[in-house]
Structure 1
Amino acid sequence: MVHRAIVQTPRAGSPSAIIAGGPWTEPTYADSTLGDNVDGEDLAVRRAAVEALGSYNGSVVVADPATGRILTMVNQRVALGTGFQPCSTVKVSVALAGLSEKAIQPATKLRLGGMRMDLTYALAHSNNYYFATLGEKLGFEKVSYYAHLFGYGEKAGLNIPGEQPGRYPSAPPKNGGVGMLTSFGEEISQTPLQLTALMSAIANGGTLYYLQYPRNQAEVQAFVPQVKRRLDIDDLIPAIKPGMRGAVEFGTAHRAREDGPIAGKTGTCSENHTHLGWFGSFNDVGDHKLVVVVLLTGGRPAIGPLAAGIAGDVYRRLGEKNYFAAARPMTPATLISSRICCR
């Protein structure tokens, strides 16, 4: 059953109304033929995501990082599909790899031609030269190892019908080598769910949950978090947060800026002549954290800063409804007495 009250009808001239005649094949959230199943969703979150996305072509996924529950998935065909180039969102996993391998330290300034740059500035401003240099310093084998550890190339969800695993290459790109992979995500295919899972692990301190998407209220009531694996990144997270917070406060994601602290990473690139805009984020305050991931795919200007603005609008709309002040069924406190299964 689709709740039509919060799935709008396409307006004439909107991307979903003209999409059949253009080069873009992904429908918008507003396409009533899409058939998003929302019976197990948090409808307050759904409404905020739908209204924030508006008529833009793309997908919004919102999850609880403390449990791995997907609270809403707008435009499920795109969210679950084969994936898209991650653009600069790949830099988060590369930064964690560099820190884990001690190729960089938080205050390390890499020499980039005639200048030097630290990690915080590089993340906040999404500097390609920095991450290409770091990728070459690490080498493809180490970059690939950490990428798979963080969930690239495998399904992020547990028993979610239609979910695809994306793709991670077995060799560096022929043109540009590992630097193109670590700065632009060249030849990687990332799904919104994969970015959601990674952002959740960063938000919660290192637990990579299987994302779960309850299909009805009975499944919501029976929900049990499932741990995929524990990531040894707890002591690395403080090193990347300043750059992710900086992206919102003064960098590429400044359109997401709201009253509460938000950490995130933008991504902008083109794949097969389709413009892509990514933003993966979490609100970095208290126990009531959410992860919000936005993917824009052509049709209208699709850039990371715009995706960040949409995510910021989701946080703002929920904040106006006092969503973060209200108790939610699954929080770290309630999980102490909850069954948590590991696979």
Structure 2
Amino acid sequence: MSDSPRSWTGREYLVQILVLGVWGLLALRLMHIQLYSQETFASRAARQQISHEPIPARPGDLLDRKGRLLATTTSVSSLYVDPSSIDDPQSIANDLARVLDLEADKLEEKIKTHSQKKFLWIKRQLSPEQTAAIQQLDLPEEMVGLRDEFKRFYPQESLAVHVLGLRDIDGNGQGGAEQAFDSYLRGQDGVRRFVRDARGNVLEVLEEVTEPPQDGHTVVLTLDTVLQLHTEAALDDLVEEHNPVGACAIVLAPSSGEVLAMASRPGFSPSNLGSVPENAWKNLAISAVYEPGSTFKPLVVAWGLDKKTLDTDEIFQCEWGSYYMGRRLLHDHHPYGELNLTDVLVKSSNIGMAKIGEKLGNEQLYSLTSSFGFGKKTGLELAGEVPGIVRPLRNWNNYSTGSIPMGHELAVTPIQMISAHAILANGGKKKSPHLLLRTSHESPLPQQIVVSQVVSQPVADWVVQHPMKEVVERGTGKRAQLGKLSVFGKTGTAQKVNPNGGYFSNKNVCSFICGAPAENPRFLVLVCVDEPRGSSQFGGTVAAPYAARILKNCLNSTGF
């Protein structure tokens, strides 16, 4: 055997070259990382250690028009645990359940189910007593902790609850002004950044890169708390006396369209949401739909006068209580012969209104429903408003010609009806109803108020100062009289539609709308009552006295 060194084969040379090449590439990659990618990888490593959490912004306050507090935000404690660090879930569950009035078994199961998580809410928005009791337990901080959160507080309790709405446990606006103006109220959350170790413990808060929250803006509403109190007190007394299915009231300033008070019954308390009846959630002032009956009649008369189809001194033969309109026989509650235009409204003659309908015709009647805002939302900022019902003109017939002027064959909401009457009370000029007065935001508010002339001022003034004023003086609204004060108004009583066809004979919607003073209306009040109980179910007897009471309080509160 020869002892001379063995020469390498070509394959062995190739393997050696490949190994050296791989090591060379690795060396080059390391040099590239060191020289050119150091910052990138350092940043990536830092991101793997840096965590962040939101810093909630405090929602802004809700105030009434005079700065009275309607809704504010307080800081409360909420309880959480770190399930991954709890060795004895049963012991922790027993301690917490005892002071929080929770079921220990369910709480223990909850902790065990989330044993891999590092954060788990146990109970949020604790009372001060519960917070103190938790602190006295002196449980390990790495297992149990308290975190400050914001909680919405309504100092007036249930006052204006349907208008204000609520904020849920996460601070989201739910209904009412809380939802409508959430973009102003919410604010912008901040961000807190901090460094954690491998076990997730916080090592350092990075104050220099923490973004502070921007708290929400204060929102000032058009509501007047004093008027709201008077309105709700009157509505509560009405409900006590007449026991209706529902009722609502609205106070409006006709010259501006500002809603000064709005109430709906049944109501609820924002501090006791666990037992709220289903029908109590609805704000009837914007969502109830009903045939308006005789409260619609002044609008028809104003439209006819404005279009020169009617004259103020015109006489109507009311046929002594019976009138055939085609094959349809119409009746009045009382038989009348000749009535002038004023008395057609004062006496609320259906026959007189049907004859006015014949003079106007369906096209003009349809135009007036649109011009006065029926069949569409008013634009009030609250969610939940419905448009009412006005059928397309093509579906109208000869029956409609008599029914529409009497306030039938269409359905309205209370906010639509008071907004339409505000046109008459404001000299024929329409101003859309609204709740937002101003905010603390520096930027100007977008213009939400729609202004248009619907009928001429002389026409509107005549309807308010003559027939509607005389309705209260000597007609169906006499129970709304306020001494020597010039009150104007109109009663409305309408049978409810039976879903199976026709109308219920014993279920009515009673309403009354009034304002004062007739010469320069400052306040307009509507009270609407759904299915009052008892022998008297008329707008003049059920709604009128309470509407007048609200109106009187409005005038007294302003020193009129």
Q: TM-score, normalised by structure 2?
A: 0.49
Shift of 1:222: 6.6
Distance in structure 2 (CA, Å) of the matches to 1:192 and 1:64: 15
Give the partner amino acid of 1:136: E
Matched, 1:250 2:474: yes
- What are the superposed Cα offsets for residues 271-325 of structure 1, whole Å, 9 maximum, x if unpaired? 133310111222125767011111110143542112111110112223444x243
Distance in structure 1 (CA, Å) of the matches to 2:457 and 2:490: 19
Distance in structure 2 (CA, Å) of the matches to 1:286 and 1:178: 33
Once the two structures are superposed, the pairs formed by residues 18-37 of structure 1 within 5 Å of their partners are: none
* SS of equivalent residue, structure 1 residue 278: strand
Aligned residue for 2:511?
Answer: 278
Pick from 266, 284, 293: which aligns with 2:491? Answer: 266
Aligned residue for 1:63?
Answer: 252
Give 1 or 2 for the bigger CA radius of gyration. 2
Aligned residue for 1:30?
Answer: none
- What are the superposed Cα offsets for residues 245-278 of structure 1, whole Å, 9 maximum, x if unpaired? 0111111111111032111111101113331011
Matched, 1:46 2:235: no
Pick from 272, 291, 307: which aligns with 1:85? Answer: 291
- What are the superposed Cα offsets for residues 202-234 of structure 1, whole Å, 9 maximum, x if unpaired? 111122111102399759x97977234222321
Once the two structures are superposed, the pairs formed by residues 175-214 of structure 1 within 5 Å of their partners are: 176-183=399-406, 185-214=407-436
Kept after mapping to 2: 8 A contact 1:108/1:119:
yes
Give the partner amino acid of 1:257: Q
* SS of equivalent residue, structure 1 residue 121: helix
Unaligned runs of 5+ in 1: 9-26, 28-34, 326-343
Kept after mapping to 1: 8 A contact 2:160/2:263:
no
Unaligned runs of 5+ in 2: 1-70, 72-153, 163-174, 179-219, 240-245, 265-281, 321-336, 498-503
Distance in structure 1 (CA, Å) of the matches to 2:480 and 2:379: 26
Aligned residues: 298
Identify which of structures 1 and 2 has the higher relative contact order when contacts are C-alpha pairs closer than 8 Å and 6+ apart: 1
Kept after mapping to 1: 8 A contact 2:491/2:513:
yes
Once the two structures are superposed, the pairs formed by residues 1-343 of structure 1 within 5 Å of their partners are: 1=71, 2=154, 3-4=156-157, 6=159, 40=221, 41-53=223-235, 54-56=237-239, 57-75=246-264, 77-113=283-319, 115-171=337-393, 176-183=399-406, 185-214=407-436, 226-241=449-464, 242-259=466-483, 260-272=485-497, 273=504, 274-284=507-517, 289-301=522-534, 302-305=537-540, 306-321=542-557, 323-325=558-560
Kept after mapping to 2: 8 A contact 1:154/1:166:
yes
Kept after mapping to 2: 8 A contact 1:59/1:73:
yes
The alpha-carbon distance between structure 1 residues 99 and 285, as it changes in their structure 2 partners (threshold 3 A), is closer
Shift of 1:60: 0.3
Give the partner amino acid of 2:260: L
Give the partner amino acid of 1:313: R
* SS of equivalent residue, structure 1 residue 279: strand
- What are the superposed Cα offsets for residues 58-85 of structure 1, whole Å, 9 maximum, x if unpaired? 1001111111111111016111115211
Aligned-pair identity in percent equals 24
Kept after mapping to 1: 8 A contact 2:285/2:415:
yes
The alpha-carbon distance between structure 1 residues 320 and 97, as it changes in their structure 2 partners (threshold 3 A), is closer
Distance in structure 2 (CA, Å) of the matches to 1:177 and 1:130: 15
More strand by share: 2
**Could you say what the CA RMSD is over the residues aligned between the two structures, in angstroms?**
2.9
Q: TM-score, normalised by structure 1?
A: 0.78
